[in-house]
Structure 1
Amino acid sequence: MLPIVLLLLAVGSLPGKGTAGKKLEYVTVLFRHGDRSPVKAYPTDPHQESAWPQGFGQLSQEGMRQHLELGQFLRKRYDGFLNESYVRHEISVRSTDYDRTLMSAEANLAGLYPPNGEQVFSPNIKWQPIPVHTVPQSEERLLAFPQRDCPRFEELMKETEQTEEFINITAANKDIMELVRNKTGLKTTTVDSVWSVYDTLFCESHHNKSAPDWVTPSVWAKLRFLKDFGFRVLFGVYNQQEKSRLQGGILLGEIVKNLSRAAVSEETQRLKMMMLSAHDTTVAALQVSLNVFNGRQPPYASCHMIELYSDDGGSMSVSMFYRNDSTVEPYALQLPGCSIDCPLEEFVKITKLSLSDDRERECQVASSGNNKEVIITLAVSGCLLLVLIVILFLSIIRHKEPLGNQGYRRITNHGVAEES
């Protein structure tokens, strides 16, 4: 019986094949880049940037293979939905402006669209160039999180550090944080810096570089726990929904807008897939805003798929799947408050709570101190304006001729003034 159930679950995860009468209309896929070198090394790390073939933060050959495989998976999953050959109207690809995310997108597309027929431009290479769009890192507002341009979010982070959960966890891990500070040469250690050290050690161990003696299995487990806790601190733990409105809700809002647009589009050459190449924090931020985050760092080449379906009656529904293990089928994600196949109107209604109508306004910090400064500024400006008006009035009076019984002086043709 169990194998039959597993088979049904696997078939149910295939787009358009789980329920009779359903038709796939549009897909958004968001994935993390593949395996990479560390972003940086800690001061006492024996493996500095020169130890890595392309330097820090670069996609490795394993990372390239991971995304080639993911692209091949997407080809099988969406075969019959996406044209076998690349058609520019069907897919749009967006990446953050990092080498590792740009290269991951390119490797992924090599697996998704191996050239055939007229698209083979050289018999010696099974590849074709496909455009990947990006914006400069300083202008990225869609795929890079957390965004540090929001005073209210920074205030929320400070408030998060005052919560009972944060205080208890940091207190319980005070010894490991002190150990990290002593062994790495860092001046201070926080949840963020411990997360960074874990990432460096993880990359090194994954690439067969020896770990320091102080990294015992017990230490390793605690570092991994603090790393995952760091993700929850960024996007949850305290006022999760407000954080989402200021962070992952930005991307969620764009996805919802695209789903709604695709639901009413009647164009014959309309977009079928939006592919987004980004980071672990991007995937986590989106999943937290959807309230489906499992609390663990999204692994390399993990992929979140959001699929829009129509049925025979014209109704639209949204299904979500998460692939964080290439050895098993993606598992379905259920939006809280809705079914696995969530009606589009319900999906839009539920997710609206995580979207900001005016992020710029919501990012501002309204405090009594700021209000006092505004009042003082207005008062000073009012006083200065009043002084200027008085000065102008006196100046006008000073330049007028005196009036009264003195009469006026008439100038004769001879230039002699006569009294009149």
Structure 2
Amino acid sequence: NISLPLPIMRIRSVATTIGTGGTFVPGPELQGVRGGLFRHGDRTPFDTFPTDLHGEDDWPQGFGQMTKLGLQQQYELGKYLRNRYKNFLNATYIYILSTDYDRTIMSAQATLASLFPPTGSQIWNPKILWQPIPVHVVPQSLDQIHFPIRNCPRYLQLQEETKTSKEYNKLLHPHLKIHNYTRPKWASDYLMHKMEKLAALTMRVFFEVYKKEEKSRLQGGKQKNIHCFKRIYMYYFFFLFKKKQHGTTIAGLQIALNIYNGNPPPYASCHFIELYEEPSGQYSIGMYYRNDTSKDPYKLTLPGCTHPYPLKKFVQLVSPIIPDDWEKECGIRGTMKGNETVL
């Protein structure tokens, strides 16, 4: 998963909508892409079961690494983003933040290769239509932006409580019969369907099942330590573009906003947010989710809103899941000093 916060992009692009009489009437003007969040591309397995005939040696890249398909998925995502935001792209005004894993760093690089192909003076070798774009990485041991909950005692306590809650056990019970199957049955269509259901349940257990709002607050981390987002509304945007855990990033965001569709985000899926200026001068937010490369992304509408939704309304809806004092709510009580991050 890779974050693309773009806080300083303010290029205007005139957008119009067709009125009922067939004439063009003023519509919202896209002010900029506030950011994007996407999952890494297809990867090899992390591990396998003891009797599997195919071990790590059968995977040229090793376990947990990018595949050729994954690189192609990310390259195609970059091409799509370039086409969608061609009037806004500028390699000078983009900040790419990745977790410290090979697959996420490589995903970012593959996406950037097609998102920012060199033109004009950027071409340094006519035979190589590629230019390096910086990918910023925080070491795992210091990463309070992408992994805040692993240092949050209260969140870990909530996860233990979740396992004994009625809510969790009710969801888990239908899947208990899948264990101890032999290899042929384990690979059956029925079993794979069950495994998909369990994967979806895992996403929900992390963020949705049992005390959902408190989990959402804790997974958000220490937004108020981000200097460039201290302006009004801005740190709310950063909350949307950072990652918590691999494979759960987009799901965690969408669960917190009550727009999750119940399915684990596929490889190279992308959730992005656009900022518009209405003819009235007011600002509004549009959110989109791309989880199928063969289709256009679909609109994400917050409960009780129409798309796009007023910025003030958006802030009002997300404010309950933004912690005022993250360390206090986590139960750290001054035992750990947080790093201050400036982007």
How far apart, CA to CA, are the structure 2 residues paired with 1:301 and 1:93?
16
Aligned match of 1:143 in 138, 142, 146? Answer: 146
1:250 equivalent in structure 2: 221
1:22–1:160: structure 2 CA closer, same or farther, 3 Å change rule?
Answer: same
- Structure 2, unaligned runs of 5 or more: 1-12, 18-25, 235-239, 334-343
Say yes or no: does 1:170 pair with 2:197: no
Aligned match of 2:112 in 109, 113, 116? Answer: 109
Say yes or no: does 1:47 pair with 2:54: yes
Residue 172 of structure 1, CA deviation: 2.6
How far apart, CA to CA, are the structure 1 residues paired with 2:53 and 2:230?
49
> Higher helix share goes to which structure?
1
Code of the aligned partner of 1:215? A
1:246–1:262: structure 2 CA closer, same or farther, 3 Å change rule?
Answer: closer
Code of the aligned partner of 2:170? N
Query: Percent of aligned positions with the same letter in both sequences?
Result: 44
User: Within 5 Å, which residues of 2 pair with 1:166-315?
Assistant: 166-177=168-179, 179=180, 212-247=184-219, 249-250=220-221, 258=229, 279-315=246-282
Q: 2:233, 2:315 within 8 Å by CA — same for their partners in 1?
A: no
How far apart, CA to CA, are the structure 2 residues paired with 1:16 and 1:28?
19
- Structure 1, unaligned runs of 5 or more: 1-13, 184-210, 264-273, 367-420
1:101–1:78: structure 2 CA closer, same or farther, 3 Å change rule?
Answer: same
Residue 261 of structure 1, CA deviation: 5.8
Provide the secondary structure at the position in 2 that maps to 1:126: coil
Q: 1:337, 1:350 within 8 Å by CA — same for their partners in 2?
A: no
Provide the secondary structure at the position in 2 that maps to 1:148: helix
Provide the secondary structure at the position in 1 that maps to 2:271: strand
1:60–1:16: structure 2 CA closer, same or farther, 3 Å change rule?
Answer: farther
Runs of 4+ in 1 over 4 A off after TM superposition: 14-19, 251-255, 257-263, 274-278
Q: 1:144, 1:279 within 8 Å by CA — same for their partners in 2?
A: no
User: TM-score normalised to the size of structure 2?
Assistant: 0.81
Residues 385-408 of structure 1 deviation map (CA, whole Å, 9 limit, x = unaligned): xxxxxxxxxxxxxxxxxxxxxxxx
1:361 equivalent in structure 2: 328
Code of the aligned partner of 2:128? I
Residues 308-363 of structure 1 deviation map (CA, whole Å, 9 limit, x = unaligned): 11234331111100000011110011122332112111111110101111111111
- Count of matched residue positions in the alignment of Structure 1 and Structure 2: 306
User: Within 5 Å, which residues of 2 pair with 1:57-68?
Assistant: 57-68=64-75
User: Within 5 Å, which residues of 2 pair with 1:30-109?
Assistant: 30-83=37-90, 86=91, 88=92, 90-109=93-112
1:161 equivalent in structure 2: 163
1:288–1:252: structure 2 CA closer, same or farther, 3 Å change rule?
Answer: farther
Structure with greater Cα Rg: 1
Residues 196-222 of structure 1 deviation map (CA, whole Å, 9 limit, x = unaligned): xxxxxxxxxxxxxxx755321111111
1:259–1:120: structure 2 CA closer, same or farther, 3 Å change rule?
Answer: farther
1:365–1:123: structure 2 CA closer, same or farther, 3 Å change rule?
Answer: closer
User: TM-score normalised to the size of structure 1?
Assistant: 0.67
Q: 1:251, 1:286 within 8 Å by CA — same for their partners in 2?
A: no
1:355–1:119: structure 2 CA closer, same or farther, 3 Å change rule?
Answer: same
How far apart, CA to CA, are the structure 2 residues paired with 1:129 and 1:365?
40
1:80–1:331: structure 2 CA closer, same or farther, 3 Å change rule?
Answer: same
Q: 2:167, 2:210 within 8 Å by CA — same for their partners in 1?
A: no
Code of the aligned partner of 2:283? M
Q: 1:25, 1:262 within 8 Å by CA — same for their partners in 2?
A: no
Q: 1:143, 1:251 within 8 Å by CA — same for their partners in 2?
A: no
Say yes or no: does 1:127 pair with 2:139: no
Q: Quick check: 117-126 or 295-304, which moved more?
A: 117-126
Aligned match of 1:28 in 15, 27, 35? Answer: 35
Q: Quick check: 226-235 or 278-287, which moved more?
A: 278-287
Residues 130-152 of structure 1 deviation map (CA, whole Å, 9 limit, x = unaligned): 0010100112222247x322221
1:250–1:338: structure 2 CA closer, same or farther, 3 Å change rule?
Answer: farther
**Aligned Cα RMSD in Å?**
2.8
How far apart, CA to CA, are the structure 1 residues paired with 2:265 and 2:14?
23
Q: 2:27, 2:279 within 8 Å by CA — same for their partners in 1?
A: no
Q: 2:168, 2:210 within 8 Å by CA — same for their partners in 1?
A: no
